[in-house]
Amino acid sequence: IASQAAQKRGWHLYLVGGAVRDLLLAKEAAGDLMIKDIDLVVDGFHKTADVGAGVELAKELQQLYPAARLEIHGAFQTAALLWHNDPELDSLWVDIATARTEFYPYPAANPEVEASSIRQDLYRRDFTINAMALRLTPPRAGELLDFFGGLLDLQAKQIRVLHPNSFIEDPTRIYRGVRFAVRFGFEIEPQTEEFIRYAINSGVYDRTAQENSRTPALQTRLKAELKHILEAPYWKSALQLLDNLGALQCIHPTLKLDEEILRQLRLLERCLRRFDSQQTLIHWQMRLEALVIHLAPEYRGKVAQNLQLQEDSIARLKKFAQSFNQVMELLPSCQHPSQVVQLLRQYDLPMLILIALHSSRFLRQQIWYYLTVLANIQPILNGNDLKILGYKPGPQYRQILDDILAASLDKVIKNKVEAEEFLAK
């Protein structure tokens, strides 16, 4: 339908990027394919007025499919149609862009856009396997446009970058390259790896990692890529590959994987599985926090802020050193379960998990026991019971209930009768 609408106006329409790659991969593997993200590009017009062709097409499609939400991104001449939980389509995202070239006024900046042909549009992309197009309009509908050898690279299982300077222009491409390599079980082609190492050695990643008001869009893209990687099942291999390439420097120049981080990440996975049902645990974010905590304390908050992590995550990373020291100092001297509860209940679950990862085996077991057992113990009496027993409601309730909880945690009382006797005393 989109192709007919384009054809009616004398334009060409192409399916481009990831959907073409995934279509060809599924064909090679004779596997199933579920595409949720469709990128279309309109091309073939001559008037500059048609620069908004993608938007015009999206508007027409939206009239035919009112269930879709239309989003227009003016600065980039693109529009998106979104179906969310649609009974027929489930979730689907269709981006419609006008063929374009991008200019980078300085390294690591956001692209500026100008109308251009499909070849140039594909030429600005990252990897050969992502730079193919499938023509959707006649004549030659169904033809594959593969100017840069993407199909051969798919068959040879290679991630090959299009331009030597690609990683200097946009450092997040290294994360994308790694993500595709690990996800598809491909190799990063040797020359591409050299370009990556060259970019890293040139210091472009150091600049990205510093606080830099000129590159907030880059930090946003970096965060999106990190999220993508850290929530995928292959996150560990991707992290290892990023580290081998020296690309964790993009987060901070001193960040490197070592045995200790890997051990902690393994422990973290056990915690995440155990507390999987807890809404407070965002897995990719916890993995990122566990990484960032390995930086010197003075860098943690800054890195979290640069990456625009959630407020609670930034606060946790800033407060970690203080909280950790406090627990290390006080937990060993807790004699009774009630003291453990008193100390640990001031921290949220993610903070306690992070503290546990850094603790000795003995203290980790204490924290674990608190999280799995002690934290779930409720006072034997509640406010209602106190009322029935004749206590006047007021602020003293909190203290009384705390005392009852402490007594039941320390096994001084075991049931309601004992609790009432305890209160009477």
Contacts to ligand ATP from residues 175-204, by CB under 6 A: 176
Choose, by CB under 6 A, the member of 3, 98, 130, 264 that binds ligand ATP.
Answer: 130
Site for ligand ATP contains 172 (CB under 6 A): yes
Q: How far is the CB of 18 from ligand ATP (least distance, A)?
A: 2
Cα 402 from Cα 217, distance rounded (Å) = 49
Site for ligand ATP contains 37 (CB under 6 A): yes
C-beta closer to ligand ATP: residue 173 or 236: 173
Choose, by CB under 6 A, the member of 50, 170, 189, 243 that binds ligand ATP.
Answer: 170
Cα 351 from Cα 420, distance rounded (Å) = 36
Helix (H, G, I), strand (E, B) or coil at 159: strand
Q: How far is the CB of 86 from ligand ATP (least distance, A)?
A: 19
Structure tokens at 88: 């027929």
Strand (E) positions, 176-310? 187-188
Exposure of 151 by Cβ count < 10 A (0-12 exposed, 13-18 middle, 19+ buried)? middle
C-beta closer to ligand ATP: residue 39 or 193: 39
* CA distance readout (Å), 358 to 266, 294, 363, 369, 418: 12, 10, 10, 16, 40
Structure tokens at 183: 């996800």
Considering only the stretches 7-15, 165-173, 248-256, 320-328, report the one whose residues sit in contact with ligand ATP under the rule CB under 6 A.
165-173
Considering only the stretches 52-60, 144-152, 167-175, 184-192, report the one whose residues sit in contact with ligand ATP under the rule CB under 6 A.
167-175
Contacts to ligand ATP from residues 334-353, by CB under 6 A: none
Q: Which residue has the tokens 């926090």?
A: 289
Phi, psi of 347 (to 5 degrees): -110, 150
Considering only the stretches 84-92, 123-131, 140-148, 260-268, report the one whose residues sit in contact with ligand ATP under the rule CB under 6 A.
123-131
Helix (H, G, I), strand (E, B) or coil at 358: helix
Site for ligand ATP contains 126 (CB under 6 A): yes
- Count, residues in the chain: 425
Q: How far is the CB of 357 from ligand ATP (least distance, A)?
A: 30
Site for ligand ATP contains 225 (CB under 6 A): no
Considering only the stretches 24-32, 171-179, 347-355, 385-393, report the one whose residues sit in contact with ligand ATP under the rule CB under 6 A.
171-179
C-beta closer to ligand ATP: residue 171 or 337: 171
Total of chain residues touching ligand ATP, rule CB under 6 A: 12
C-beta closer to ligand ATP: residue 10 or 164: 164
Cα 323 from Cα 352, distance rounded (Å) = 9
C-beta closer to ligand ATP: residue 133 or 381: 133
How many CB atoms are located within 10 Å of the residue 243 CB? 18
Exposure of 397 by Cβ count < 10 A (0-12 exposed, 13-18 middle, 19+ buried)? middle
Contacts to ligand ATP from residues 229-268, by CB under 6 A: none
- Roughly what angle, to the nearest 10 degrees, separates helices 259-274 and 349-358? 140
Site for ligand ATP contains 153 (CB under 6 A): no
Helix (H, G, I), strand (E, B) or coil at 389: coil
Choose, by CB under 6 A, the member of 3, 11, 14, 17 that binds ligand ATP.
Answer: 17
Considering only the stretches 23-31, 170-178, 252-260, 266-274, report the one whose residues sit in contact with ligand ATP under the rule CB under 6 A.
170-178
C-beta closer to ligand ATP: residue 22 or 403: 22
Site for ligand ATP contains 121 (CB under 6 A): no
If residue 14 lies in a helix (H) or strand (E), which one and from where to where? strand 12-16
How far does CA 42 lie from the centroid of its chain?
30
Radius of gyration of the chain (CA): 28
If residue 368 lies in a helix (H) or strand (E), which one and from where to where? helix 361-372
C-beta closer to ligand ATP: residue 163 or 274: 163
Cα 224 from Cα 221, distance rounded (Å) = 5
Site for ligand ATP contains 160 (CB under 6 A): no
| Residue numbers at the binding site for ligand ATP (CB under 6 A) | 17-18, 37, 39, 125-126, 130-131, 170, 172-173, 176
